[in-house]
Amino acid sequence: MRVLISTVAFPPSVGGMETAALDIASGLAERGHDVTVAATTPSSEPDRYPFKVVRNPDAKTMWNLTRDTDVVWQNHISLRLVWPALVLRRPVVFMHHIWLDTDPGSGTQYGSLKRYVCKLGTNGFVSTALRDAVKLDGPIIPNSYNADIFRFREEIRPDRDVVFLGRLTRVKGVDLLVEAIALAAKNGTVITASIIGTGPEEAALKRQAENAGVLDRIVFTGALRGEALAQTLSHHRIAVVPSRWEEPFGIVALEALASGCVVAVADSGALPEVIGPCGPVFKKGDAASLAATLEDLVKHPDSIARYRANIPAHLEGYTRRAQMDASEALLDSAISGS
């Protein structure tokens, strides 16, 4: 089938929605579909993908691309990109990755209008938490992880306790991790950590760690990707996702699980759903709760082993094949009108 994927997030920009857009485009192309991506994300380098990429399409270009496709896959709803499909009556799949209007911190606008437009198409959701919040019907199709890169590495013995991966911003809660390490230290528990990523809070986080007397226990690695990222994750026993924001999914949790980490998450959005039986949940925004969770894991390696034993079976629901099978079925459903 001819599939037009329209998205406001695509590489070289980095993030969960960007990864999801690339995954669905690559997966459909690998299965023999004629895929075109219309992305508002600019790029200074030529695109070298096994599918066509149109950057910053204007209204006329979107009209022509939509006219020449069988179905449109919106990598989360964009009113700017979807209108030609509504006028031309092309079937549309709205794949929801973030909240519409349920979280003021999401940066989305026109939630009521978007919800109305979504009712005109076929909807899918990356998590049950997101579907419940959006209040529309549709199947759950979780994001997948790259099993070629993120995998158990028996040759690597974990030699550090905790790792964080993500943007260094307040909503991601990295300061809570630093505070938790300091609280644990006051209790006599030494916790070593690595913080992977960059962002506007980096300098403040280093000052916080220094003032708390734990800077020597924390390594700030900067941004890592690919094999370097996966190997670094594998050197840790525990990954932490301490987001203050209600996370609609959390692909970093999957990547950490696949790398052999037990993942501790805040009771935030879909995070408990994503990790399932593979780690503990602590109170969102509460450094003391996080500290107690980490201390318990560090002091009880048998707990880590029990959580870790659940990872392989849990990840079977998050494979690329499972995601693509469900995505193809959703596209077929949209085209047939069923």
Q: Are residues 32 and 125 in the same domain?
A: yes
Structural tokens at position 280: 């503990």
- The answer to whether 129 touches 248, Cβ cutoff 8 Å, is yes
> 3-class secondary structure for the chain?
CEEEEEECCCCCCCCHHHHHHHHHHHHHHHCCCEEEEEECCCCCCCCCCCCEEEECCCHHHHHHHHHCCCEEEEECCCHHHHHHHHHHCCCEEEEECCCCCCCHHHCCCCHHHHHHHHCCCEEEECCHHHHHHHCCCCCECCCCCCCCCCCCCCCCCCCEEEEEECCCCHHHCHHHHHHHHHHHHHCCCCCCEEEECCCCCHHHHHHHHHHCCCHHHEEEEECCCHHHHHHHHHCEEEEEECCCCCCCCCHHHHHHHHCCCEEEEECCCCHHHHHCCCCCEECCCCHHHHHHHHHHHHHCHHHHHHHHHCHHHHHHHHCHHHHHHHHHHHHHHHHHCC
pLDDT, residue 103, reads 45
The predicted model gives 233-259 an average pLDDT of 96
Which residues are 96's β-sheet partners? 125
> Residue 56's domain is classified under what CATH number?
3.40.50.2000
Contacts of 297 (CB under 8 A, 6+ apart): 237, 238, 262, 264, 280, 303, 304
pLDDT digits (tens, 9 = 90+) for 133-148: 999 999 999 999 999 9
- pTM value > 0.85: yes
Asked whether residue 188 is domain-assigned, the answer is yes
Decide if 41 contacts 54 (C-beta within 8 A). no
- Res 107: pLDDT: 46
In a domain, 177, yes or no: yes
pLDDT at 110: 72
Residues 136 and 242 in one domain: no
pLDDT digits (tens, 9 = 90+) for 69-84: 999 999 989 999 999 9
First-to-last CA distance in the chain?
A: 17
For residue range 18-29, list pLDDT tens digits in order: 989 999 999 999
pLDDT, the chain, mean: 94
Average pLDDT over residues 79-104: 88
Q: Is the pLDDT of residue 102 over 70?
A: no
* Mean pLDDT in residue range 220-233: 96
Total domain count, the chain:
2
Confidence of residue 14 (pLDDT cuts 50, 70, 90): confident
Q: Cβ(314)–Cβ(277) under 8 Å?
A: yes
Position 112 scores a pLDDT of 83
pLDDT score at 100: 84
Residue 164: phi and psi, rounded to 5, are -120, 140
Q: What is the pLDDT of residue 109?
A: 61
**Per-residue pLDDT, 111:** 77
Q: Does residue 148 belong to any structural domain of this protein? A: no
| Mean pLDDT within 30-57 | 95
Q: Are residues 274 and 294 in the same domain?
A: yes
Same domain? For 326 and 260 the reply is no
Domain membership flag for residue 43: yes
306 and 323 share a domain? no
Q: Does 262 share its domain with 279? A: yes
pLDDT of residue 106 exceeding 80: no
Residues 111 and 167 in one domain: no
196 with 59, same domain: the answer is no
Residue 153 belongs to a domain:
no
187 and 168 part of one domain: yes
Band the pLDDT of 105: cuts 50, 70, 90.
very low
User: Is 155 part of a structural domain of the chain?
Assistant: no
Q: How confident is the model at residue 338 (pLDDT cuts 50, 70, 90)?
A: low
Q: Are residues 28 and 119 in the same domain?
A: yes
Cα gap 14→185, rounded to integer Å = 34
**Could you tell me if 187 and 133 lie in one domain?**
no
Q: Give the per-residue pLDDT at 324.
A: 96
In a domain, 154, yes or no: no
At 185, is the pLDDT very low, low, confident or very high (cuts 50, 70, 90)?
very high
Confidence of residue 108 (pLDDT cuts 50, 70, 90): low
Q: Provide the pLDDT confidence category of residue 15 given band limits of 50, 70 and 90.
A: confident
Q: 156 exposed, middle or buried (CB, 10 Å; 0-12, 13-18, 19+)?
A: middle
| Contact yes or no for 120/242 (Cβ under 8 A) | no
49 neighbors 25 (Cβ within 8 angstroms): yes
Is residue 151 one of the residues assigned to a domain?
no
Q: Write out the residue range of the structural domain in which residue 212 sits.
A: 160-317
Query: How far apart are alpha carbons 226 and 263 in whole angstroms?
Result: 20
With pLDDT > 90 as the criterion, what percentage of the chain qualifies?
89
116 and 234 housed in the same domain: no
Average pLDDT over residues 215-239: 97
